A and B are shown apart, each in its own frame.
Chain A
């Protein structure tokens, strides 16, 4: 791969190569030495050169979210009881409703936040994981950027759940109108949480490690 092209005279590119680790919690730099040291001498938290089992955990979480994505989108997420007649709507129903009503802005926001973002996150993380697996060296910085973006938008995917939680609290007029969460809500929560966790457990440095031919994952 690309590592072949690197010259031996290059300065160490990673801390690991320089024999250094960093504490995940307090960011103390610890020398990687023969002497076993499992905990950060400063804050006492376990230290690893890379987040342990990062890729595997990410894979597991992202696959979970991929599975959960289906019930989250197929099952109804919100129940509206109006004069005793209950009506269920899925996420897509809501988006279609807003588009039909002409509220394109809200429709797009929900579409992006509730459908596109989770899908994008899952696909994005999977892509990164696949690229690590196959040690693809190109677009490394772009992938990192994408990952940062995924991490950033992670919290925004909760918008739908947030809206439903608000409506459930606000619209409770007994027989007149009541809004409640429907079966898809926990699944949707699961999707968001697992994608966020997947992003959390993933160590971006692995991308570079893989790209530069170093393998530290199974640490």
Chain B
């Protein structure tokens, strides 16, 4: 055994460093805690709601500087004292005017505040004081204190009449950014309210002496029928109230505002708009809306109506509008400046001021040249300010109709002038003054005949739209048209003298009646219908959307059961109307199409939407017509197009899922449609009336087969899937009998539909097996045809299965060909041969099929004729499979 020895060691073990170090750290911690021990202060609050002893912190600029240690109720029971341990670092700040307040989550209709405390709990916020006197006992505030007056930033005052929803703490926004807040408000002796606002230092430069402040509290809703202004400030200002401001660019060069500047607080954004205020006297306040009606000069908005007020004492100008004009238009505000209101007008000559239909009426002006001026009166609506130069004439009318100053004077639908004003004569006739623009002076001569062209004022017509509302009537203000006899067109007539009086006829027909020579070249035709029509005299007649004439009258015929429409076709278009023309009522809107091909939406010209119109088509060439030729009027273009379709009837023993407008198709092509379906008299079966194209009339013979094609779902597949979308249709397979119009429909698709494509062969089988219509026919496992159908042989001993061999495979079938049933799977098993599984294709496993082979060489034989019969073997012989003759599919 080895020997160990024992040594003695002396001295202090170095392990004692550890407790010494620990003691040093502990001592240092102790020292630090004594030096940095918090200072206890007492703060009195009205309520300790949301404050928890030991938890609630005192925050200064988001940093905790203390914590509530203890909460006690004061002797008087009306306040609570909180003992708060404040970090020693903050000792210097504990001065007399230090302000404490509790920040709690506050959500009320008035404001949302301290949301962050929802999660972190309430805290006590501190605002440092300026005093130098140390203090340890404070009184807490119930509300956050205002920003001290000498805090950096801009202190402003806003003078207002009503506080609205402003309150202490409401934000001040600039471009929706919060840049300051409302610090308080007080009522002045004169009833004005002075609101103290504070703008944070970094934003104070945004405020200039010319800055506009407005109350941005909540939602402003303004307007009338002409439109509504909906203005909402930020959500926060909606709840909190707020003030927004902006400085007009023109005023940005002013020096920044000084502390204590008093600004006017405008009621709202519109109110605060900067501009030159002018007053405009109006006859009435119709369609002039505060804040909405614009002043437009050469298409540019230069002002807005700010205020509209009544003038009870002014008989002429009952309304005065205060308008703010953009300073850029200042130079236009002179004594000679003429203002007037532009309202929308739709006449037959076109729509004028269409934009005002949408934007509402506006005010425009022509600058004058006088002294600067701020008060104006609108130019009357009895006389219209005319901007173009021209010659004035007069018209005498029995009725003003819908004419108004500004209404167009039309020559061949071209505006050549306008109505300037009207007056009522003593004999109750109306005197109209109109202007013909200079460039059209040559049109006016003594032979001119004027008539009222307010198409909509015609009150006749059944089913005509009746316009009863005043506003719409105003929109439909008419015009005056004139013309002079055609025979003078080529001659130079003397220009009529200015201020010459013309007579205004009530309508064109009235004018023609009095001045027959006015009638232009052209012919009248009659359109006859037994259905109500929505056209009126003046409605256009279109050919391919080009107006070729117009309706001159609508009347009932002598028997009162038909409506006869007189239409005038202009000379230049006479050759378009032939004996074969078909007229139809053109509705304003037209929707065309189906799910497969998409929809087409078409509208006609505005005039035809309003008044209806008539169109016509020429499906084929016809003879020239004479005046007053009578045409039938078709209710729509489709009817007109199908007018020469041949009616047929098809009897079905059951209703067959078809409906009106179901198609009739021959080889997939539409050749007609179902017009209506009704029960037969004996209530057995249905009688389908259909219209078919005459070109295909030869298809409808006594042996013709008709059946309904519907979607089919079966093990062998889905067929006619398209009819799910398009709806069932009637298929046609022509027969050989004599032509007929009364046909009998099949309840089921015919067993053997005839196809005039490919080769038709018949195979004779003992039984049908799993063969079905549509089953494939294979040659060397290539699909070369299909099963058309089957039937029992006439002696019922066999099943005859009809096959169709597609082009170009018809030559594969020869006299020597062998057919066999390729349905299913053939499994042959033998001890030596093993198992052999044979199938033509997956499709045949499911649905069956027929296969054939053709022997080579002499056995092949000749190509077969249509309808040749073959035997269908149950299975192929071994050697058939080896046959591989050379047959060229095409020569």
Interface residues, chain A, with chain B CB atoms under 8 Å away:
20-21, 29-38, 41, 47-49, 52-53, 56-57, 60-61, 63-65, 67-68, 70-71, 75, 82-85, 87, 187, 190, 194, 218-219
**A41 interface neighbour in B2, B5, B26, Cβ under 8 Å:** B2
Whether A31 lies near B3 (C-beta < 8 A) is yes
B592 at the A interface (CB under 8 A): no
Given known contacts A36-B5, A61-B18, A64-B19, what 4 new A-B pairs fall within 8 Å (CB)? A36-B3, A64-B18, A67-B22, A68-B26
B13 at the A interface (CB under 8 A): yes
Whether B26 lies near A67 (C-beta < 8 A) is yes
Q: How far is the CA of A68 from the CA of B26 in the complex (A)?
A: 7
Inter-chain contacts of A33 with B (CB < 8 A): 2-5
Contact stretch, chosen from B115-123, B190-198, B409-417, B835-843: B115-123
Whether B22 lies near A32 (C-beta < 8 A) is no
Whether B15 lies near A34 (C-beta < 8 A) is no
Given A52-B9, A70-B26, are A37 and B2 also a contact pair (CB < 8 Å)? yes
Q: Which residue of B lies closest to A36 (CB)?
A: B5
Q: How far is the CA of A85 from the CA of B3 in the complex (A)?
A: 67
Inter-chain contacts of B121 with A (CB < 8 A): 85
Q: How far is the CA of A30 from the CA of B5 in the complex (A)?
A: 10
A-B contact count (CB 8 A): 96
Whether A60 lies near B18 (C-beta < 8 A) is yes
Whether A219 lies near B6 (C-beta < 8 A) is yes
Please indicate which of the listed interface residues A32, A34, A85, A218 has the most CB atoms of chain B within 10 Å of its own CB. Answer: A85
Inter-chain contacts of A21 with B (CB < 8 A): 4
B29 at the A interface (CB under 8 A): yes
Q: Mark B8-22, 1 if CB is under 8 A from A, else 0.
A: 110001011011011
Chain B contact patch, size range: 20 to 34
Q: Which residue of B lies closest to A22 (CB)?
A: B4
Inter-chain contacts of B23 with A (CB < 8 A): 67
Interface residues, chain B, with chain A CB atoms under 8 Å away:
1-9, 13, 15-16, 18-19, 21-23, 25-26, 29, 55, 57, 116, 119-121
Whether B4 lies near A31 (C-beta < 8 A) is yes
Inter-chain contacts of B26 with A (CB < 8 A): 67-68, 70-71
Q: How far is the CA of A187 from the CA of B19 in the complex (A)?
A: 13
Q: How far is the CA of A20 from the CA of B57 in the complex (A)?
A: 67
Q: Which residue of B lies closest to A35 (CB)?
A: B3
Q: Which residue of B lies closest to A190 (CB)?
A: B22
Given A47-B4, A71-B26, A85-B121, are A60 and B13 also a contact pair (CB < 8 Å)? yes
Given A53-B9, A56-B15, are A68 and B4 also a contact pair (CB < 8 Å)? no
B5 to chain A, nearest CB (A): 4
Q: Which residue of B lies closest to A65 (CB)?
A: B22
Inter-chain contacts of A56 with B (CB < 8 A): 13, 15-16
Whether A57 lies near B13 (C-beta < 8 A) is yes
**What are 27 A-B pairs with beta-carbon distances under 8 A?**
A32-B6, A33-B2, A33-B5, A35-B5, A36-B3, A36-B5, A37-B2, A38-B4, A47-B4, A48-B4, A52-B9, A53-B9, A57-B13, A60-B13, A60-B15, A60-B16, A60-B19, A67-B22, A67-B23, A67-B26, A70-B26, A71-B25, A71-B26, A85-B119, A190-B22, A218-B8, A219-B6
Inter-chain contacts of B16 with A (CB < 8 A): 56, 60
Q: How far is the CA of A61 from the CA of B4 in the complex (A)?
A: 28
Inter-chain contacts of A83 with B (CB < 8 A): 116, 119-120
Inter-chain contacts of A85 with B (CB < 8 A): 57, 119-121
Q: How far is the CA of A48 from the CA of B5 in the complex (A)?
A: 8
Given A67-B19, A194-B18, are A218 and B9 also a contact pair (CB < 8 Å)? yes
Please indicate which of the listed interface residues B1, B16, B22, B116 has the most CB atoms of chain A within 10 Å of its own CB. Answer: B22
Inter-chain contacts of A34 with B (CB < 8 A): 3, 5
Whether B5 lies near A31 (C-beta < 8 A) is no
A174 to chain B, nearest CB (A): 14
Inter-chain contacts of A60 with B (CB < 8 A): 13, 15-16, 18-19
Inter-chain contacts of B29 with A (CB < 8 A): 71, 75
Whether A68 lies near B9 (C-beta < 8 A) is no
Whether A49 lies near B6 (C-beta < 8 A) is yes
B21 to chain A, nearest CB (A): 8
Q: Which residue of B lies closest to A29 (CB)?
A: B1
Q: How far is the CA of A124 from the CA of B483 in the complex (A)?
A: 128
Q: How far is the CA of A31 from the CA of B19 in the complex (A)?
A: 36
Inter-chain contacts of A190 with B (CB < 8 A): 22
Q: List the 8 closest pairs (A to B, CB-CB), nearest first.
A: A33-B3, A31-B1, A85-B120, A67-B22, A36-B5, A41-B2, A60-B15, A83-B119
Inter-chain contacts of A47 with B (CB < 8 A): 4
Whether A63 lies near B19 (C-beta < 8 A) is yes
**A30 interface neighbour in B4, B7, B9, B15, Cβ under 8 Å:** B4
